[in-house]
Amino acid sequence: MPTFCQILPPTEVNLQRCADALRAGEVIGVPTETVYGLAGNALCESTVRKIFEVKGRPFIDPLIVHFHSIEDADAHVVLNDRARDLAARFWPGALTLVLPKKASIPDVVTAGLPSVAIRVPGHPVFRELLRQIKFPLAAPSANPFGYVSPTLATHVHATLGGRISAVLDGGACQHGVESTIVDLRDPAVPRILRPGPISADALEIETADTMPTSSDGSAQAAPGMLTQHYSPNAAITLFEHGTQPEAARPGDALLYNTKPQGNKLGADIYWLSESGAPKDVAHNLFMLIQKLDNAGYTQLFVERALERGIGIAVNDRLRRAAAKRT
């Protein structure tokens, strides 16, 4: 394993350096518009296994494969008409589709399932890297398995810096939460498996009242479905939007969507957005949770977001982050 990791600005020289590392079978940190990814050649089984090893990720949890274009994806998955329609509307962007895979995708990528999650990302640095290397990249979040997702290059360096050689710095991630995942294995019955920046309304897909979860040892249809995930070292307790936590004590951290009026609880107050705009709440969520975790808080009380739009994704991440560790 590498013992020295560099954060690299996205210059032409550094992009070439990272492309060469990926061609050589290395895994590196890369920026996306959702969260930072731990990227490696999706068509090389040994490289994919290295991704799982670096993260400490169980092989039951499949990876998302990133392509430069839908034309590139067509060689590796079976695209149906509904997938082509959604791709035309939302790619490049924060939408992942689960589709039947072709033999070129190693089974280790998909937890042995005959389907694979794919995406065409929108981040310009990631897109240029994909253009240069000419092969797809498997890229789960660039963090130890189960920990808070990284939205800055420094987050990746802090948690995986001793295990990878480089993080390509593309700035703060635009959305701050992972992509929306839609199951199109049966295009007549599309299902949202993970909420994200693209809402069910925008996708014109009906969604269940609760997102699917799984905590057993079976293969997952898509990433982000385990009951406990996205968790800091500190314990998280959630409280309803627009209310106050009942059990907060001095020395705890209270995290609101927007700046609250007064502080009668004696705890330390933080907020995710000056205006309370849902996109700002999502953008800052993981960033601030990591900051508070690194500051040494042991108890975080976090206000739920409004249950609409990207707030549904925020609440999904918070619910899993607050789940008790087993």
Condensed to tens digits (0 to 9), the pLDDT of residues 195-254 reads 999 999 999 997 654 455 555 578 888 898 888 899 999 999 999 999 999 888 889 999
What does the radius of gyration of the chain's CA atoms come to, in whole angstroms?
19
Is there a domain that residue 222 lies in?
Answer: no
Q: Is 25 left (phi over 0), alpha (psi -120 to 50) or beta?
A: left
- Regarding whether 291 and 199 lie in a shared domain, the answer is no
Is there a domain that residue 277 lies in?
Answer: yes
pLDDT at position 103 is 98
Residue 54 clears pLDDT 80, i.e. is over it: yes
- Regarding whether 247 and 185 lie in a shared domain, the answer is no
- Regarding whether 174 and 50 lie in a shared domain, the answer is yes
Domain count along the chain: 2
- Regarding whether 126 and 55 lie in a shared domain, the answer is yes
- Regarding whether 186 and 42 lie in a shared domain, the answer is yes
CA distance 122 to 91: 7
pTM to 2 decimal places: 0.94
CA distance 197 to 219: 25
- Helix (H) / strand (E) element for 113: namely none
- Regarding whether 311 and 195 lie in a shared domain, the answer is no
Q: Is 271 left (phi over 0), alpha (psi -120 to 50) or beta?
A: beta
pLDDT at position 208 is 54
Is there a domain that residue 269 lies in?
Answer: yes
CA distance 297 to 215: 27
What number is the average pLDDT over the span 34-57?
98
Chain CA centroid to CA 172, Å: 13
Residue 12: strand, helix, or coil: helix
C-beta of residue 218 within 8 angstroms of C-beta of residue 59: no
Assign residue 298 the CATH number of its domain.
3.40.50
- Regarding whether 98 and 32 lie in a shared domain, the answer is yes
Residue 88 lies in domain: 6-203
Is there a domain that residue 167 lies in?
Answer: yes
Which of residues 187, 203, 219 is at a domain's end? 203
- Regarding whether 107 and 172 lie in a shared domain, the answer is yes
Is there a domain that residue 116 lies in?
Answer: yes
Assign residue 110 the CATH number of its domain.
3.90.870.10
Is there a domain that residue 226 lies in?
Answer: no
29 — phi, psi (to 5°)?
-85, 135
- Regarding whether 179 and 45 lie in a shared domain, the answer is yes
Tokens of 163: 């295990």
CA distance 100 to 80: 10
CA distance 111 to 113: 6
pLDDT tens profile 250-308: 899 999 999 887 655 567 999 999 999 999 999 999 999 999 999 999 999 999 999 99
CA distance 252 to 315: 21
Is there a domain that residue 218 lies in?
Answer: no
Peptide bond into 92 cis (omega under 30): yes
* In the chain, % of residues over pLDDT 70: 94
- Regarding whether 185 and 51 lie in a shared domain, the answer is yes
- CA distances from residue 290 to 243, 260, 293, 300 in whole angstroms, order as listed: 23, 21, 5, 11
In sequence order, the 6+-apart residues with CB closer than 8 A to the CB of 160 are 5, 29, 38, 54, 55, 142, 143, 144
Tokens of 267: 């705890």
Residue 110: strand, helix, or coil: helix
Nearest to 302 by CA among 229, 263, 260, 245: 245
- Regarding whether 70 and 175 lie in a shared domain, the answer is yes
* Terminal Cα distance for the chain, rounded: 29
309 — phi, psi (to 5°)?
55, -135
- Regarding whether 310 and 167 lie in a shared domain, the answer is no
pLDDT at position 210 is 47
Tokens of 14: 């550094």
Please count the other Cβ atoms lying within 10 Å of the Cβ belonging to residue 124: 13
